[in-house]
Amino acid sequence: MLLSVRKIIKEFPIQRGLLGTPTAFLKAVNDISFEVETGEVVGVVGESGCGKSTLGKCIVGLQDLTEGQIFWNDQELKLLQKEQKRALRREFQMVFQNPFSSLNPRQKIKDLLLEPLEVHQLLAVSERLAFVKELLTQVGLTAADLEKYPHEFSGGQRQRIGIARALACQPQMLVLDEPVSSLDVSVQASILNLLAKLNRDKKIGYLFISHDLQVVGYISHRVLVMYLGRVVEEGTVEQVLQKPKHPYTQVLLKASMGFSVALKGEPSNPVNAPKGCPFAARCLHVEDRCLTEKQELQEVENRWRVACWKWHKI
């Protein structure tokens, strides 16, 4: 298994008492488990504040876990020695959302792309430049761009550079945090094409994080739908987008196609997350049990899971 996530929880202390001991927590990621196989694309979809970016950061090791385990290639991240971790980290790279702030403005593209090779001591020094040129052509830029600075590129081109930089480590897996949401539609399509091609040709697995269900549906094999730090539905793209079971997935799907949705209120505050179902306050199918008792993910079919008391009725 390329990546295996078991019951992870990430809490942030948001209020401290007199002696600096935390008194209130925000559970950004609340008891999430899933797996990604080699070459598989798993999409994570949810609204702002649902914890999807925190989940991505936990997976590449940019955030420590409060509880739970993450396995990279069947090795537990927390138990790895520093050197082992560094070697494995090369295999799990991240592409960030904002291509304007995630590239150092004072580095030339050449240096931006050579840096990961130096850090991980990949290839002989004499071969590196040729490799970097090859990388640039793979992402649709030219060798002439090597001497330029990030500001000379458009948003879409910068996102290509961000992808090239992640690819420089020859990873097995990329965590893509909203890679296309800051781009215009016409440009977005070309980046999605590039990502789909890389996945096909190089068998790189993706964790594709986005707020847009249609984008996720286009690129992913499997989908996790998150709401207030929890996964409310998980399954293949066909299952989740054709026959969504959870009321929240149904609403998200309708909204993503531009239809009007019947929905009350707004997302609850993640700080005092409700005791029962996180979506209960906005759900149209709510009943008493939803408010007091939390439903765990239930198997609908093989590997298709839903966290709703009433999924078989709606």
Q: Residues interacting with another protein, by CB under 8 A?
A: 47-48, 154, 156, 184-190, 192-193, 196, 211-215, 217-219, 237, 241, 251-252, 254-261, 263, 265-267, 282
- Type of residue found at 109: I
Q: Which is nearer to another protein, 169 or 215 (CB)?
A: 215
Closest CA to 48 of 178, 156, 155, 159: 178
Closest distance of CB 180 from another protein, Å: 8
Closest to another protein by CB, 38 or 154? 154
Encoded amino acid at 247, one letter: P
**Shortest Cβ distance from residue 51 to another protein (Å)?**
14
- Taking alpha carbons only, the member of 311, 58, 63, 64 closest to residue 209 is 58
* Spatial distance between the Cα atoms of 314 and 293, rounded to a whole number of angstroms: 19
**Least distance (Å) between residue 111 CB and another protein:** 24
Rounded least distance, CB 157 to another protein, Å: 8
Task: Between 25 and 248, name the residue whose CB sits nearer to another protein.
Answer: 248
Helix axes 155-167, 125-138, angle to 10 degrees: 140
Give the residue with the Cβ less far from another protein, 21 or 48: 48
Instruction: In angstroms, give the least distance from the CB of 223 to another protein.
Output: 10
- The distance of closest approach from Cβ of residue 309 to another protein in the complex, given in angstroms and rounded to an integer, is 21
The CB-of-113 to another protein minimum distance in angstroms stands at 22
Q: Give which of 11, 16, 23, 43 is closest to 229, Cα–Cα.
A: 11
Min CB(185)–another protein separation in Å? 5
Angle, alpha carbons 119-147-181 (nearest 5°)? 75
Report residue 143 as tokens. 């060798």
- CA end-to-end distance (rounded Å), the chain: 34
Residue 34, both tokens = 């899933």
| CB nearer another protein, residue 89 or residue 233 | 233
Q: Letter for the amino acid at 101?
A: S
**Cα–Cα distance list, 230 to 174, 224, 226 (Å):** 22, 10, 5
Please state, in angstroms and rounded to a whole number, the distance separating the CA atoms of residues 83 and 182. Answer: 36
Q: Give the span between the Cα atoms of 252 and 224, in whole angstroms.
A: 13
For 312, residues 6+ apart whose C-beta sits below 8 A from its C-beta are none
Which phi and psi angles does 153 have, rounded to 5°? Answer: -115, 155
